[in-house]
A and B are shown apart, each in its own frame.
Chain A
């Protein structure tokens, strides 16, 4: 196991070391100590390594992640796992604004609450929030799944494209063109898998599904496969 202490190692050196890990690396376990709210911790990784960040992080932790599994034991600042491509990011505490924004793939798990704009413009990422999400979550979300085990704030799924939204608790209000949809057996299956991967013991049947009414953008069924 490799340990990097941010009290003594500069941020760029830390990220360079993590980014230099190759596909076949045998240094698969990394621990980062003393993040103390630092920005851009463990960004741009592209190897199947496991990174544990012991503490809380600032802006843009785990941004652009590919393949890596990153676990933050505290809370994360704005833009955690922004534009993630693949891999897994787990936040044990809360996440600030726009968690998982624009993510193309991979799994983001937030065990506490996420604040506003969670999953804004998501493009294929799966996000599982054990607690609540704030206002404007999944704004213009294009594809992927957002699972909220608690409540959602105002304007959920405003201007939504084809992302699926599952909420167990209350939704303060739905955004433009976002509607509640029938929960069919295939959605229960998708949700069951997401909850299992997100380490959440909620029952899929307790959730409601929300999606796009497809009146705000030009949906054509021939393009359904593109999402």
Chain B
């Protein structure tokens, strides 16, 4: 099972509603997976780098963290704490140093980028969305996932979306069967997954292909050749949004497009509250076919 959703806005008008629309889409998919939920959202760019971090003990861990990181980097750092997550704003070019600092403190980095923020926890979509105030978030596009765990444990780190490159994220419905072999290949290339989860391997694969110069369409095309198993992937990049299903296409998928947006859902139910859905073009993405949009 698992439920996945995505929404890519083509016009500015709906930007303030993105968080609410995505939250409603994801809540509708709750009975496809009750284990964990998450959303990656591409919001306003603040002029630097945003890094979303997570801690199971946020009160202690985040206390004074911005000042300490600022001192270590020798640059201004701001921090917005949201429940177990915090979004750090750093100067561009400081990511490697910041990651080293956070690693030493044992703090988990969920993702980084100039516009992407990512929030995920164990629990139902409605609870996770409420904890992180997703409804109030605006943005240009986002993806979400509610998980029925198969390949790895029910933990925060096993929750989707997975982000393995700046402003890149991926959600997955399915299970991969060659993820251990692919993990070794990716580790040799310097794209080592951090968890035992199969989906993270797919995210690392796409990040590696993008780093090698592929565009989003080519990277998604590569999954059909190099990944074995069941998958429907929905992927976000800074300016792009893509979908691909494996050739067998057992995992359900439906898409809708209007002049205002492109939407993805595991089921049509996810679209019920979208504006203009009654007149949208609705179709089932073909197996082994890449769909992507970039602005």
Contact = CB atoms under 8 A, between A and B. Distances in A.
Contact of A77 (B249, B252, B272, B287): B252
Contacts of B287: 116, 134-135
A88 interface: no
B269 A37 contact: yes
Given A56-B282, A115-B284, A135-B287, A78 B268 contact: no
A94 interface: yes
Interface in A78-118: 78, 93-94, 96-97, 115-116
Nearest to B282: A75
A56 B268 contact: yes
A37 B268 contact: yes
Nearest to B278: A55
Contacts of B252: 77-78, 96-97
Nearest to B271: A37
A75 B268 contact: yes
Given A116-B249, A135-B287, A36 B282 contact: no
Nearest to B284: A115
Interface in B227-285: 247, 249-250, 252, 254, 267-272, 282-284
Contacts of A116: 249, 287
A54 B250 CA distance: 27
A212 B254 CA distance: 33
Contact of A58 (B247, B249, B268, B283): B268
B76 to A, nearest CB: 48
A59 B268 CA distance: 10
A31 interface: no
Interface string A50-70: 000000111100000000000
B-side interface mostly: loop
A116 B284 CA distance: 10
Contacts of B267: 37, 58-59, 77
A29 to B, nearest CB: 23
Contacts of B247: 135
A96 B284 contact: yes
Contacts of A97: 249-250, 252
Nearest to B269: A37
Interface residues of B, number: 16
A171 B123 CA distance: 46
Nearest to A56: B268
A38 interface: yes
Nearest to A96: B284
Nearest to A34: B272
A23 B132 CA distance: 54
Contacts of A38: 269
Contacts of A36: 269, 272
Nearest to A59: B267
Contacts of B271: 37
A94 B269 contact: no
B283 A77 contact: no
Contact of B269 (A58, A96, A134, A135): A58
Contacts of A57: 268
Interface centre among B249, B268, B271, B283 (most CB of A within 10 A): B268
Contact of B284 (A58, A94, A135): A94
Nearest to A115: B284
A96 B254 contact: yes
A87 B162 CA distance: 47
Contacts of B269: 36-38, 58
Interface centre among B269, B270, B282, B286 (most CB of A within 10 A): B269
A36 B249 CA distance: 23
Given A78-B252, A116-B249, A94 B268 contact: no
A76 B270 CA distance: 14
A38 B269 CA distance: 6
B272 A94 contact: no
A93 B282 CA distance: 9
Interface of B: 247, 249-250, 252, 254, 267-272, 282-284, 286-287
15 contacts: A36-B269, A37-B267, A37-B272, A56-B268, A57-B268, A58-B267, A58-B268, A59-B267, A75-B268, A77-B254, A94-B283, A96-B252, A116-B249, A134-B286, A135-B287
Given A58-B267, A75-B268, A96-B254, 18 more contacts: A36-B269, A36-B272, A37-B267, A37-B268, A37-B270, A37-B271, A37-B272, A38-B269, A57-B268, A58-B269, A59-B267, A75-B282, A77-B268, A94-B283, A94-B284, A97-B249, A115-B249, A134-B286
